[in-house]
Each structure stands twice: as structure tokens, then as C-alpha cells.
A and B are shown apart, each in its own frame.
Chain A
């Protein structure tokens, strides 16, 4: 595994070519994805601390505010697996079908999983950066949640906090950069997994990735939170 990662990151064409010579296995991709999901969960747990602090003194919430972190972490864990691995693999598989791609979905899952290593790195960097930004975020503390308008106003205030906005934008940029790296790996991965030309593999990968990047950048500008992970 140790020697595989540099080859995957620097010479993905050779890496995936070698993998094609071996039987399909989701062992290492699963480990990568689970590690990525754990990192995403950790990041969500840190960010959800904002909301836990916000609702900590709401009598109606009781001890519920302490579950914000757990709920956020579990959500991010499964969202990472579903979005980054299953959905992207499924989309790649479907788009490559248009180019008469052949190869099993398991192989697509395997290579998509390998290609998530840059996303993992980006997630780690985002979590570290979040530790820098979160203490600077001014969190309004609620004492009641009976008025939805006030709740919405407070949430909007958090979203428009300068530190929070900057963190969202920085983490989005990092996400886009490392996603581009993963996309590069996926292009070569799909080329081999689906037996399509490099051009078709690029189209297969770039279409969903570009759409996702546009979504991420839009949400960063709009101030909404992005999905768990990088």
C-alpha cells in the first residue's frame, strides 16, 4: 500500500493499468473511503460545535444540544460514503455507458475509491483550517426557539459571520483543488475500469465533477454550508 500511493498520485495511468491485471477488490478502496468518512465526521463534529454552543442555553433543547456533534458526525460519515463513493461511482458508470464502456461496477467502485485519496488530503487540511477559523466565529446564543423568525435570523447571522464565510470559501477552494486532483486520478481510473478512450474518460469524470465544483463554489458564495468532507 505504501508504494502504491505515490504511484497512484503521480502515475495514475500506470497504477490503474497494474490494478487491472489483478482481480477486483474493494479492500483498499473501502479503507480509503472509511478513513475519508472518519475525517469528514471529525470535521462535521468540530463545525457542529457552533450550533451546540448556539442552542446550549435553550431550555427546550435540554441536553439535545450536546447531540449536535454526534448527529453531525454520523451524518457526515455516511454522506461521505454515499456521495463521494457510491454516487460518483454510479454517475461515472452511467456516463461511461454512453461511450460503450464495459467493465463491472465493482471495478468502477474500486477505482473511484482509490481516486478519493486527494479528497482525503483536502479534508484533513480543511479540518485543520477549521480549527483556525472556528474560534473567531461569533456565535449568537439563543435562549428560546419558539420564534422561527428569530431562529432564522440567528442562523443567518452565523452564516454571514465574516470568519465563517471566509472559512467556507477557503474550505471550498481547497475542496475544489483537491477534487480536481481526484478527478485527474478518476480519468485514468475510468479509462481502465470502463475500457474507454482517455477523451471519453475525461468527459465521464469532468461532467459530474464540474457540476459539483460549480455547486460548491455557488454555495460558498451564497454562504451555505457544503456537504460533509472537503
Chain B
């Protein structure tokens, strides 16, 4: 027998043996399991806060030509709590098919990067272990004051601009800014921002009208996945006079009592650095305004400008009357400035009867008569 023929027969025999007993060559199930790959991992939220609960969705794909039976799918980690149950029902992934597994986890962990393991237990073969990266980051949204007034005043409306920034690596949703505070009129009371993507900032403006010194709380509520979170800053609202506000100052005041009422004249001078609008003067405490000048409307007063005014009022049993100057700034915020003015006492003049009194007429007549007589006598008896 020729050596070439013998080699051919040996090879054919071996091949026949493999065809008759396939398991003796490469085990088919093991080969199929090797075709299962993790093709997608989705995390919601993408980055967790400590204590957040989230959903991890893992998609596998059977890239092989045969179905693969899966007995169990689970996730485990020594630090991360997996809330949802394992997939314990045997199922089959058909050739070329995909399958998703969803696990709910809770990250009661400090900031850091963790790797919980996704485990796939094949019925007829071994296991598939797949570590999944899970990040925990406790950086909250940042709230910054962009613009606020130097000072606040009672009943004065001021605008405040804030910026809400997302320093996280994942977007947050449902962002709402709430403005809160005692004795504060806030418009709007809240502002909806919605989604804030990573490294994105959103400007929010609102108006505040305080009635007394208090604290303004700016609270930003948002969701990281399904987990609500909140960021809060407090802004003190203290009253004081603005360094540049209008200052209507009264000078050259003259008070007279005539015709049953007081007449107060003077000059109102804007000693401030801002314009004073709608300047109106009137008598305040201690006086009751009367016609003809119950109020005196000066109008607008530019800085370093002045205007004369005149008000009329009655006052009883007092020596001091407040002169009230109402004015507004460019935004229409009302201001009141009160200047106490000392008023003179009313004259104690007696009531003058009309016409010359009879005794006076008598004195004049008698004097004239006596003098006439004396003159006549002096000429007659010279």
C-alpha cells in the first residue's frame, strides 16, 4: 500500500469519526454561548447621587447561528444594593436575537466609581460575567446670584438675576426654581427650567418686593433619574438707604399763618445721584392739609435740581408738622421722606371790627373841635 493512500484513508477515518461523534471534537453549546455578547448598557441616571435609586438596562445579542438557552441572569456587587430580582426563568435567545435585562439598584455609596457585575448563567454552558461601570457623584446644581440691588427698601420692587448651573456629567430633569420668604412679594413665585444638560447654565430673573427685613430662600428642585433633589441658598434682605438714591431735601422753609391756615413755602432739592420722579409734597403728622394746596406736585427732579413748592394745612395744639415728600425711582418704587418743620404759633390778634371805632372817631372829632376852637380863639384874641 502506497504511503499517500494510507494518509488519505487515515484522514477520512478521523473525519468520519468526528461526524459520527460531534461531542468528541468541539462542544456545540459552549460554542453558542460564546456568541452571546453584551451590546448595550443603559443607566438611568447616568451618574448617581449617594442614595439614588436607578435602573440599569443591559442588552445582550446572540451573534451565533444557534439559539442559546439562558438559565439565570443576575447582577451583584458587594457595595451596591440590587433591589430588583434576578431573572431565574430559563429562556432562549434565538440566533441573531437581542434580549434586555433590567435591574434596579440603589447607590448608598459615597462618591466614586463602582463596578457591579452582570452575570449570565447559560443552561448548557458556563457563565458570562460583565462588570458595569456605575458612577456616584454628589455635586449638586449650583445657584449663583448674578445681579441684585445694593440695598432693599420697604415696598420697593427690585429685580434679582440668578444662574442655575449643572456641574454634573449627566443631565438633570424637572428643574424648578422656587422663591420663598416671609413678608416678600415674589413675582414669579417659581420658574420652570426643565432639563439642564451637563455644564449648562440657565439664567432666571424674578422681582422681589420686601415689606420688612427678612431672608429670601431660593430653592432649586430637580430630578436625577427618578430621585428628587434640591439645592437651596439664602439671600438676606436687609433694609438700608441706597448710596445713589434720590434725596429730596427741603430748604428755605417759611411758614406763615394767614386766613385761618398755615402756608408753608420752600424749596425741594434733589441732593441724591438718581432722578426722583413723581415728587409730591404734603403735610403729614401734626397737620391737616387744606385747600388750595393740599398737595403740591413737583414732578420729576433731576439730581442737583430743585423746585419751589407751597402747601397749606391746618394745625392744632402742635408746634411741629411733618412735611412728607413722596417720590419714585426710575423703576416706580415708592419712597417717602419726612421732614419735621417747626411752625409758629397762631397770631393772637383780636378780631378786627369793620370801620373805625366810635371812641376813636370821638377822639378825632373832639380834638378837631378843640383845636379849631383854640385856633379861632388865638386869632380872635391876638
Contacts and interface: CB of A to CB of B under 8 A. Distances in A.
Interface of A: 9-14, 57, 118, 122, 125, 129, 132, 135-144, 146-147, 150, 154, 157, 162-163, 166, 170, 173-174, 177-178, 180-181, 184-185, 188
Interface residues of B, number: 34
B360 interface: yes
Given A10-B377, A13-B382, A150-B254, A136 B351 contact: yes
Given A136-B352, A180-B371, 17 more contacts: A9-B374, A11-B377, A11-B378, A57-B344, A136-B350, A140-B256, A141-B345, A142-B254, A142-B256, A154-B256, A157-B256, A162-B352, A174-B363, A177-B364, A177-B371, A184-B374, A184-B375
24 contacts: A11-B377, A12-B378, A13-B378, A129-B360, A129-B363, A132-B357, A136-B351, A136-B352, A139-B347, A140-B256, A141-B255, A141-B256, A141-B257, A141-B347, A143-B254, A143-B255, A146-B252, A147-B252, A150-B265, A157-B258, A170-B356, A181-B374, A184-B375, A185-B378
Q: Which of B354, B371, B377 has the most CB of A within 10 A?
A: B371
A12 B378 CA distance: 6
Contacts of A122: 367
A168 B312 CA distance: 30
A129 to B, nearest CB: 6
B253 interface: yes
Nearest to B370: A181
Contacts of A142: 254, 256, 344
A174 B364 contact: yes
Interface in B172-187: none
A138 B371 contact: no
Interface string B249-264: 0001111111000000
A12 B382 CA distance: 7
B342 interface: yes
Contact of A132 (B265, B345, B360): B360
Nearest first, the 5 closest Cβ-Cβ pairs linking A and B are: A141-B344, A13-B382, A138-B349, A140-B256, A181-B371
Contacts of A10: 374, 377-378, 381
Contacts of B344: 57, 141-143
Contacts of A166: 352, 356
Contacts of A177: 364, 367-368, 371
Contacts of B343: 143
Contacts of B256: 140-142, 154, 157
A180 B370 CA distance: 12
Nearest to B353: A136
Given A177-B371, A180-B371, A14 B364 contact: no
A174 B253 CA distance: 41
Contacts of A154: 256
A132 B364 CA distance: 15
Contact of B349 (A136, A178, A188): A136
Interface string B304-342: 000000000000000000000000000000000000011
